[in-house]
Structure 1
């Protein structure tokens, strides 16, 4: 997993705390979706490091409708963001909406957020199209001084996107999931090693692969 550069960590230490206070006040006031988008645009600029005038696009057109926000670097859209009001729980129909935007645009990374919760999804362009929740961030629960929390936020930062941090993180998650580990354990070299160890601790024991 990519480590957050010192300069970015310094920014996150300062700005995460500041926007936690902004989000708490907004949640207490139960602001609407439009106001939530405004706050998120400021987070994208001040916390994530994007230029909100050239790298954050609002109301991005997608086949006759609009996605709330799109992040663009070097003229290419890196991820789409679907925003819901801060007091609204993120639901399955919201996810379908966000995924449809990404699928229709051929963009593999989409973020569903209400300002507090940030769910990062990877769309898999296969038949049928599927998706995977790669990371969830609760902004209000972040420790603004903790490196581990900085590394999570870094996935969506300008510097992280430029260095493919989110792709690296996704590869790491895939490599340590239980299905991958199970497949590795089931390979013949590992099974042979297990059988040898079992015979060592229990002489005379007979073990086949099915066991």
Structure 2
């Protein structure tokens, strides 16, 4: 686990340099660049063999129509989709969120990632509720304050974590916490002074 966290941290540092250059106007990062220069290296860092077509496929045709940017497989079954956008695109766009999760619902894969290379949002595509209810984690890899959340969240997207269903257990824990928080807010809505704890600050709305 320590080795995985170190690999992720090194990749985050490398990615930050490319992102800083993009924001400085030194390079333009297109959607394709996001995939090749930011997403694929991160997938490799978390244990996916990006050169093995039985593990990672690009432009996968979905049964419901459309092509998913990246699909990750374990045991011959797709377990995660990643939809990438250009670095200046906002991943708050409802069209992008719907597009990312559609692949998961079409193929029965729970986990969908939407990213522009800088902001990453992880969704449980088949959870109940609206899109906001399906958001598992959101983080900005250029934000040093977010680094621990980024490393922990990306660790859960690792091939080994997917195979061991660690991310599913983490979802259950976090989702239970959110339900408790919602119940407390409802019960104590008459006296906001009682509500002093944010259970999962990393689950706040992702903002580009």
Scaled by the length of structure 2, the TM-score of the pair is 0.74
Q: Quote the offset at 1:101 in angstroms.
A: 1.5
Partners in 2 of 1:22 and 1:49 — Cα distance? 22
Q: What is the correspondence of 1:46-57 to structure 2 with a 5 Å cutoff?
A: 47-54=45-52, 55-57=55-57
1:8 aligned onto 2:24: no
SS of residue paired to 2:79: strand
Q: What is the correspondence of 1:143-182 to structure 2 with a 5 Å cutoff?
A: 149-179=150-180, 182=183
Q: What is the correspondence of 1:16-31 to structure 2 with a 5 Å cutoff?
A: 16-27=12-23, 28=25, 29-31=27-29
Contact 1:143–1:149 at 8 Å: present in 2 too? no
Matched length: 178
> Could you say which residue in structure 1 is the equivalent of 2:120?
118
Partners in 1 of 2:84 and 2:101 — Cα distance? 13
Unaligned runs of 5+ in 2: 188-208
The 3 A distance-change label for structure 1 pair 36 and 148 is closer
Partners in 1 of 2:181 and 2:33 — Cα distance? 42
> Could you say which residue in structure 2 is the equivalent of 1:195?
none
The 3 A distance-change label for structure 1 pair 26 and 121 is same
Unaligned runs of 5+ in 1: 187-211
The 3 A distance-change label for structure 1 pair 179 and 138 is same
Q: Quote the offset at 1:23 in angstroms.
A: 2.8
What is the Cα-based RMSD across aligned positions, in Å?
A: 2.7
Q: What is the correspondence of 1:130-141 to structure 2 with a 5 Å cutoff?
A: 132-141=134-143
1:32 aligned onto 2:30: yes
Structure showing greater Rg: 1
